[in-house]
Chains A and B, each alone.
Chain A
Amino acid sequence: MFKRSQREKAYSIILFGSALTALIIILLIAGFIFKEGIPIFQKYGFWNVIFGNKWNPSNMIYGLWPMIIGTIYVTLGSLIIGVPLGVLTAIFLAELAPGRLVSTVIRPSIELLAGIPSVVYGLFGMTTIVPLIRSLTLRIPAYADDPALSSGYGILAGSIILSIMILPTVINIAEDAIRSVPPDFKEGSLALGATHWQTIYRVIVPAARSGIMAGVVLGMGRALGETMAIIMVAGNATIIPGSIFSSVRTLTGNVAIEIAYSSGEHTQALFATGIVLFIFIMIINSVALAFAKKEV
Chain B
Amino acid sequence: MIKPRQSEKIAKVILATAAAVTVLTLACILGYIFINGLHVINWEFLTSEPESMGSKGGIFSVIISTIIFTVTTIVITVPIGVTAAIYLTEYTKKGFGSSIIRFGNEALAGIPSIVFGLFGFALFVVILKPITGGWSLISGALTAACMILPTLIRTTEEAIKAVPNSFREGSYAVGATKWQTVTRIVIPSSLPGILTGIILSIGRIVGETAALLLTLGGSIFIPTGLTDPASTLSMHLYKVAMEVGAMDMCYGTASVLIFTVFIINLTANKIMGRMRHKKVA
Interface residues of A (CB under 8 A from B): 4, 7-8, 11-12, 14-16, 18-29, 32-33, 35-36, 84-86, 88-89, 91-93, 95-97, 105-106, 108-113, 115-124, 126-128, 164, 167, 171, 195-198, 200-201, 218, 221, 224-228, 231-232, 252, 255-256, 259-260, 270-271, 274, 277-278, 281-282, 284-285, 288-289
In the complex with contacts A227-B114, A228-B209, A255-B117, A32-B83 CB distance below 8 A: no
Judging by beta carbons under 8 Å apart, are B16 and A92 in contact?
yes
Complex interface: stretch among B6-14, B43-51, B221-229 = B6-14
Judging by beta carbons under 8 Å apart, are A16 and B33 in contact?
no
Judging by beta carbons under 8 Å apart, are A197 and B11 in contact?
yes
Judging by beta carbons under 8 Å apart, are B22 and A117 in contact?
no
Judging by beta carbons under 8 Å apart, are B149 and A123 in contact?
no
Judging by beta carbons under 8 Å apart, are B29 and A22 in contact?
no
Judging by beta carbons under 8 Å apart, are A22 and B108 in contact?
yes
- Is B104 part of the binding interface, using a Cβ–Cβ cutoff of 8 Å? yes
Judging by beta carbons under 8 Å apart, are B234 and A259 in contact?
no
A-B pairs, 5 with minimum CB distance: A225-B112, A23-B104, A117-B207, A88-B18, A15-B87
Judging by beta carbons under 8 Å apart, are A123 and B33 in contact?
yes
Judging by beta carbons under 8 Å apart, are A109 and B4 in contact?
no
Complex interface: stretch among B67-75, B160-168, B187-195, B250-258 = B250-258
Q: Which of B22, B123, B179, B250 is in CB contact (< 8 Å) with A28? A: B123
Judging by beta carbons under 8 Å apart, are B237 and A120 in contact?
yes
A-contact bits for B237-273, CB 8 A (1 contact / 0 none): 1100110000100110010011001101100010000
Give every chain B residue within 8 A of A84 (Cβ-Cβ): 18
Give every chain B residue within 8 A of A231 (Cβ-Cβ): 242
Judging by beta carbons under 8 Å apart, are A116 and B107 in contact?
no
- Smallest CB gap from A37: residue in B: B118
Q: Which of B7, B22, B107, B112 is in CB contact (< 8 Å) with A89? A: B22
In the complex with contacts A92-B16, A221-B110, A112-B262 CB distance below 8 A: yes
Judging by beta carbons under 8 Å apart, are A195 and B214 in contact?
no
Shortest distance from the beta carbon of A262 to any chain B beta carbon, whole Å: 10
Give every chain B residue within 8 A of A221 (Cβ-Cβ): 110
Shortest distance from the beta carbon of B28 to any chain A beta carbon, whole Å: 8
Q: Give Cα A221 to B106, complex, Å.
A: 13
Judging by beta carbons under 8 Å apart, are B25 and A164 in contact?
yes
- Is B86 part of the binding interface, using a Cβ–Cβ cutoff of 8 Å? yes
Interface residues of B (CB under 8 A from A): 4-5, 7-8, 11-12, 14-16, 18-19, 21-23, 25-26, 29-30, 32-33, 36, 79-81, 83-84, 86-88, 91-92, 100-101, 103-108, 110-119, 121-123, 146, 149-150, 153, 177-179, 203, 206-210, 213-214, 234-235, 237-238, 241-242, 247, 250-251, 254, 257-258, 261-262, 264-265, 269
Give every chain B residue within 8 A of A122 (Cβ-Cβ): 238, 241
21 contacts between A and B (CB under 8 A): A14-B83, A22-B149, A33-B119, A85-B21, A92-B16, A92-B18, A96-B12, A109-B23, A112-B30, A115-B261, A115-B265, A119-B235, A171-B22, A197-B11, A198-B8, A200-B11, A227-B112, A227-B114, A228-B238, A285-B107, A288-B110
Q: Give Cα A211 to B176, complex, Å.
A: 42
Q: Which of B86, B150, B214, B264 is in CB contact (< 8 Å) with A259? A: B214
Q: Give Cα A223 to B212, complex, Å.
A: 19
- Smallest CB gap from A11: residue in B: B179
Q: Give Cα A111 to B22, complex, Å.
A: 12
Q: Give Cα A196 to B5, complex, Å.
A: 10
Judging by beta carbons under 8 Å apart, are A196 and B8 in contact?
yes
In the complex with contacts A20-B101, A32-B122, A255-B117, A198-B4 CB distance below 8 A: yes
Q: Give Cα A25 to B32, complex, Å.
A: 40
Q: Which of A21, A121, A195 is in CB contact (< 8 Å) with B80? A: A21
In the complex with contacts A26-B108, A171-B22, A285-B107, A197-B115 CB distance below 8 A: no
Give every chain A residue within 8 A of B118 (Cβ-Cβ): 32-33, 36, 255, 259, 270-271, 274
Output the residue of B11, B100, B114, B116 with the most chain A CB within 10 A. Answer: B114
Give every chain B residue within 8 A of A118 (Cβ-Cβ): 207, 209-210, 234
Given contacts A122-B241, A271-B118, 6 further A-B contacts (CB under 8 A): A4-B177, A15-B83, A21-B80, A96-B12, A115-B207, A256-B210
